[in-house]
Amino acid sequence: MSSGHNRCLKWPCVRLTSLSPSSSFMILTALAMLFLKANVTAAMKVTSSGPQTIQMAQGDPVNLDCTYTSSQADIGELDIEWSVVSPDTTKKDQMIISYTGGRKYTHGDSDLMKGVDFTATDPSQGESLSIASLSVSHAGTYQCKVKKAPGVDSQKISLIVMVRPSVPKCWVDGGEAVGEPASLRCRSDEGTAPLMYSWRRESGGPIPPDAIQNSVTGELLISNHSVSHSCVYSCEVSNAVGKESCRLNLQALKSPNRAGVITGTVVGCLLFIMILLIIIWLLIFKCNWNQHEKEFSNEIREDAPAPESRPTSRISSFRSGVAYSQVGQTQNEHPPSTNTNYSTAKYDSRFGYAV
């Protein structure tokens, strides 16, 4: 066997003529598969350098990244489409912006399209999507689809729009008396759940171990309040896109003397009862006094003597006085008659005795 023939038997040199027909067919099939795989790898490919799920705050700008690579076989016209994937698989996706034939087109709702555009002036050089100011309506799954015949590929990105927590309100639920439980509360009225609350002391070291903190409700419970717990506390509320805080000055107030409080309460109740009894006695006395005056007035009317003459007018009284004066003068001039007769006057129940 010659040296040239020996070199042909070494790897990777293989003489197909020395192989059987079945072995030759298998080798040709493997080479064809490798060739096809190389072509598929070099075909259209859409990628994204950012995460597949993006969490952003309401009002913030965002860029949804989309980049494509094509092969020499992709010679068709470039077509780029951005659409919002419908959660219902039976419905069509909503296209929002596209680029085809060298021109840009906008689609869909005007509210959704406000501030939405390609990041590049020439979309063929940059297919990423830009949203200037996010709102809750922008949340959803976005799909970037690039076509360049015969190649086509797509990429999906989930966008979650969250609301930042509002500035929380801090207050003490209950009292701040020493020896009593004290509950520090913190609550934010706005913000996308889950909201996490965290209390800390601004001075005096960490929160005492006997204080129980609830990160969900925002409560810091101190079961036995003391002077050592007195300081400025800070509560921070946060979610995935923001955080806010508030401050609270917790004081330690000495509890009042319970014996004195009880004594004062008893004395106050007794005074109130005495005043109430005096008022009732005065009302009863006044009612009895009015009744007594009414009875006394009736007795006076019953015992009063009958009038001596029936009432007359002023003119009659005046004339009677004048007549009486004249008669008196006449009697003084003339002696009284001895033949004067007197008759008994009759009593009238209405007018009394007649004169």
The pLDDT value recorded for residue 255 is 67
The pLDDT value recorded for residue 205 is 86
Task: Provide mean pLDDT across the span 228-257.
Answer: 91
* 3 pLDDT higher than 70: no
Q: What span, in angstroms and rounded, lies between the C-alpha atoms of 225 and 176?
A: 7
Single residue among 136, 162, 188 that ends a domain in this structure: 162
| pLDDT top residue among 340 and 128 | 128
Whether residue 144 sits in one domain with residue 189 = no
* 12 pLDDT higher than 80: no
Whether residue 126 sits in one domain with residue 98 = yes
Whether residue 174 sits in one domain with residue 153 = no
Specify if 134 maps to a domain. yes
The pLDDT value recorded for residue 313 is 47
| pLDDT top residue among 50 and 130 | 130
* 108 pLDDT higher than 70: yes
Give me the helices (H) in 101-216, please.
110-113
Tally of domains within the chain = 2
Whether residue 138 sits in one domain with residue 110 = yes
* 9 pLDDT higher than 60: no
Which DSSP string corresponds to 250-263?
E--BPPPPHHHHHH
Whether residue 182 sits in one domain with residue 152 = no
The pLDDT value recorded for residue 138 is 93
The pLDDT value recorded for residue 328 is 46
Q: What span, in angstroms and rounded, lies between the C-alpha atoms of 232 and 18?
A: 92
pLDDT bucket at 168, cuts 50 / 70 / 90:
very high
Range of 107's domain?
Answer: 45-162
Tell me the per-residue pLDDT of 23-69, one tens digit each, with 9 for 90 and over: 666 666 666 565 444 444 457 888 888 889 999 999 999 999 999 88
Q: What is the CATH number of the domain that holds 230?
A: 2.60.40.10
Q: Which of these ranges, 81-95, 152-166, 255-269, has the smallest mean pLDDT?
A: 255-269
Whether residue 202 sits in one domain with residue 123 = no
Do 256 and 179 touch, CB atoms closer than 8 A? no
User: What percent of the chain has a predicted confidence (pLDDT) above 70?
Assistant: 69
Whether residue 50 sits in one domain with residue 108 = yes
Strands across the sheet containing 231-239: 196-201, 231-239, 242-250
pLDDT bucket at 194, cuts 50 / 70 / 90:
very high
The pLDDT value recorded for residue 306 is 55
Specify if 145 maps to a domain. yes
What is the average pLDDT score of the chain? 79
Q: pTM of whole model > 0.75?
A: no
Specify if 72 maps to a domain. yes
Tokens standing for residue 297: 């007035």
The pLDDT value recorded for residue 166 is 97
Specify if 27 maps to a domain. no
Whether residue 58 sits in one domain with residue 153 = yes
Do 128 and 48 touch, CB atoms closer than 8 A? no
pLDDT bucket at 154, cuts 50 / 70 / 90:
very high
Specify if 216 maps to a domain. yes
